[in-house]
Amino acid sequence: MTQYLNLPSCLTAVCRSADAGKFKSTFVDALVVAVTFDLFGTLVAIDRPGDPAATVATALRDRGVTVPDGWSERYTEQHVEAPAGAEIPLPAHVAAALRAGGVDASASTVRRAVVAAFDPDVRTRPGADDALSAAAARGPVGLLSNCSVPELVPRTLIRSALDRETFDAIVTSVGCGWRKPHSRAFETVAGEVGVGADALVHVGDDEASDGGVEAVGGTFLDVADIGLETIADRLRAGDQPASLAEASPCR
């Protein structure tokens, strides 16, 4: 993905109108703040399968794949070795689980089944589009999503009310190979929006994963404590990270 303006690793760099054209974002004279957003649970809500193993099994059978006995257990077992924090694409996991049960299926068939099993109904969260617009007025905007299902993030964005063009970078764990809270996930999206990881302000709904930005020196904004509407207001007011992260007394 395209590299953008190489801003210093700080949150108080001043970017003038001459620099703004290097980003999709609309900022002109405000102090630059690079904001990244989680997707699921933060900007959108989706209905996840209540029984993922059964849903995947149905999708496999629909494509002529024999599902081995004990599938529910096989689905939840580890079949692919990976470093701590690394993402294992779900199609690779499913294919390995099938092989463990003595079933071989083509990679393309397994991938299509997995994509179909997690085809989402999408609801855009109130205030999401406004928060993105406010962030774009302050600096580069990124999306950083933990998602092991190929195509799920782009499909979700297409079906949402969000303007995908607002994002200067879209990074998924299945694409970059690392899940939040691993530092390499945040470092990847930081590089894509042209700042150091310590310069990120990351908006999310899960402290255990999204809060990992703090380990690389960035700022975590928890939508459960602050809310998208408040985040938008504070960005437009020119707040810097310390005040952006203050919990709202009315939530």
Q: Is the pLDDT of residue 114 over 50?
A: yes
| pLDDT score at 246 | 74
Task: Evaluate whether residue 156 is within a structural domain.
Answer: yes
State the chain's mean pLDDT as an integer: 89
Q: Let me know whether 162 and 211 are in one domain.
A: yes
| Cα–Cα distance measured from residue 240 to residue 158, given in angstroms and rounded to the nearest whole number | 31
pLDDT for the residue 25: 60
pLDDT at 239: 87
Higher pLDDT among residues 60 and 22, named by residue: 60
Q: What percent of the chain has pLDDT over 90?
A: 82
**How confident is the model over 54-79, as pLDDT tens digits?**
999 999 999 999 999 999 999 999 99
Q: Where are the alpha helices (DSSP H) in the chain?
A: 17-20, 52-62, 71-76, 90-100, 107-117, 128-136, 152-159, 173-176, 183-193, 228-236, 241-244
In terms of domains, do 221 and 150 share one?
yes
Mean pLDDT of 96-104: 98
pLDDT score, position 240:
82
Confidence of residue 236 (pLDDT cuts 50, 70, 90): very high
**28 and 87 assigned to the same domain:** no
Under DSSP, the state recorded for 248 is P
Flag whether 217 is in a domain: yes
Identify the domain boundary among 100, 117, 134.
117
What is the residue range of 154's domain?
Answer: 17-46+122-244
202 shares a domain with 112: no
The reply to whether 173 and 97 lie within a common domain is no
C-alpha distances out from residue 115 to 14, 55, 56, 89, Å = 43, 11, 9, 11
Banded pLDDT at 180 (limits 50, 70, 90): very high
Predicted local confidence at residue 12, as pLDDT: 29
More confident residue, 223 or 244: 223
Decide if pLDDT at 28 tops 80: no
- Is 83 contained in some domain? yes
Q: What is the bridge-based pairing of β-strands 122-124 and 44-46?
A: antiparallel
Position 27 confidence tier, pLDDT thresholds 50, 70, 90? low
Say whether pLDDT at 116 is over 90.
yes
Question: Given a cut of 50, is residue 226 above it in pLDDT?
Answer: yes
Residues 36 and 158 in one domain: yes
Q: pTM for this structure?
A: 0.86
Q: Does 128 share its domain with 99?
A: no
Is residue 150 within 8 Å of 117, Cβ to Cβ? no
Residue 97 lies in a domain: yes
The domain total for the chain is: 2
The CATH number given to whatever domain includes residue 200 is 3.40.50.1000
pLDDT: is 30 or 208 the higher one? 208
- Pseudo-torsion of CA 55, 58, 62, 66, nearest 10°? 130
| Residue 128 and residue 233 in one domain | yes
190 has pLDDT over 70? yes
Residue 6 lies in a domain: no
How much of the chain, in percent, has pLDDT values that exceed 70? 85
Assigned domain for 11 exists: no
Mark whether 110 and 93 lie in a shared domain: yes
Residues 98 and 211 in one domain: no
168 and 231 together in one domain: yes
Residue 202 has pLDDT above 80, yes or no: yes
* Domain termination site, one of 89, 117, 145: 117
- Both 145 and 180 in one domain: the answer is yes
Would residue 249 count as lying in a domain? Answer: no
Mean local confidence (pLDDT), 129-147: 98
- Buried/exposed code over 12-50 (b: 16+ C-beta within 10 A; e: otherwise): ebebeeeebebbbbebeeebbbbbbbbbbebbbbbeeee
pLDDT of residue 26: 58
Domain boundary among 96, 117, 138: 117
Residue 235 located in a structural domain: yes
Q: What is the pLDDT of residue 3?
A: 29
